[in-house]
Amino acid sequence: MMAQGKANAVRRERADESVAGQRIDNYLMRICKGVPKSHVYRILRSGEVRVNGGRVGPTYRLVEGDEIRIPPVRIAAPAAGSAAPAGKPLPVVYEDDALIVIDKPSGKAVHGGSGVSFGVIEQLRSQRPEARMLELAHRIDRETSGLLIIAKKRSALTALHDMMRDGSVEKRYLTLVPGRWANPLQHVKVPLYKYLTPEGERRVRVSDEGKPAHSIVRLVRRWQRFSLLEVELKTGRTHQIRVHLAHLGFPLCGDDKYGDFGLNKALEQEGLKRMFLHAARLSFIHPLTGESIALQSALPDELQSFIDYLDARDAQKNG
């Protein structure tokens, strides 16, 4: 529930580097938290919002130094206790004045929504109230652990989005699948179609109606019943790794959407209680400095301990 707040006075803001390049409608929705989207568009259409003294449309992109006049708006006051708790500090792998890379734990959503009141980005903003801007540069699934980039400047965010679209950010994941994967290296190019189930859950399936999707799969290790794979994403479609591998008959161990549910239940008894998918490597050219960045994240303890269990079990059988 939201309590109705009071209308603010006229605000005058100056666009700095952190918002340069952002659309005025998105900027207003971010700084006028609690104001309905319809009202934001209404004050833009009516000319009550002014940039450098003139009217602008909702698609106008801010330039550093722009003077923005925001009329009084009635902001809904959030109910007590709805703010994201700061919680424990998130593990930071890399940080400078343009971006942060964190090592996201499994089970934590990257943002609130779809029944999740808050995620990594809300928690990070709560932990760093002084930050002018913190925005996700990309997303990884809630169940997936590993490397996640957050931009601290609008210019870095825009550049990272462009780099991801053209495939110049190298993202590699580690996953465990049942069975013995044969090929040392295999390109998977199968289109993926996103849809909603009758219950409103997001799902993806292989379909010619879908968008092109390209994964490169490398065999890392094999046991009698399982294979450890490294998957490099050349495109970033929703659930891409999970659906590509399930399509080939190698569903991810512990995947509760596209996996082998009977096997998952058995694996829980053997110690694997989550989906085995970890964002292990990131390589890219820094969007502002041009520096080459290469980052790694080791398998979390709960995944490494299952690998150790497989090693011990196969050694026992071979012994």
CA separation for the pair 209, 194 (Å, rounded)? 10
Helix axes 37-45 and 24-31, enclosed angle (nearest 10):
130
CA separation for the pair 123, 120 (Å, rounded)? 5
CA separation for the pair 54, 49 (Å, rounded)? 8
CB 243 within 8 A of CB 205: yes
Residue environment code for 254-269, b if the CB has 16+ CB neighbours within 10 A, otherwise e:
bbebbbbeebbeebee
> Which three-class secondary structure state does DSSP give residue 32?
coil
Q: For 38, how many CA atoms within 13 A lie in the half-sphere containing its CB?
A: 0
Catalytic-role residue among 25, 66, 103, 141:
141
Which amino acid type is present at position 221? R
CA separation for the pair 216, 230 (Å, rounded)? 8
CA separation for the pair 276, 229 (Å, rounded)? 11
Is 66 a known active-site residue? no
In sequence order, which ranges of the chain are alpha helices (DSSP H)? 24-31, 37-45, 120-127, 154-165, 240-247, 261-270, 301-318
Active site (catalytic) residues: 141
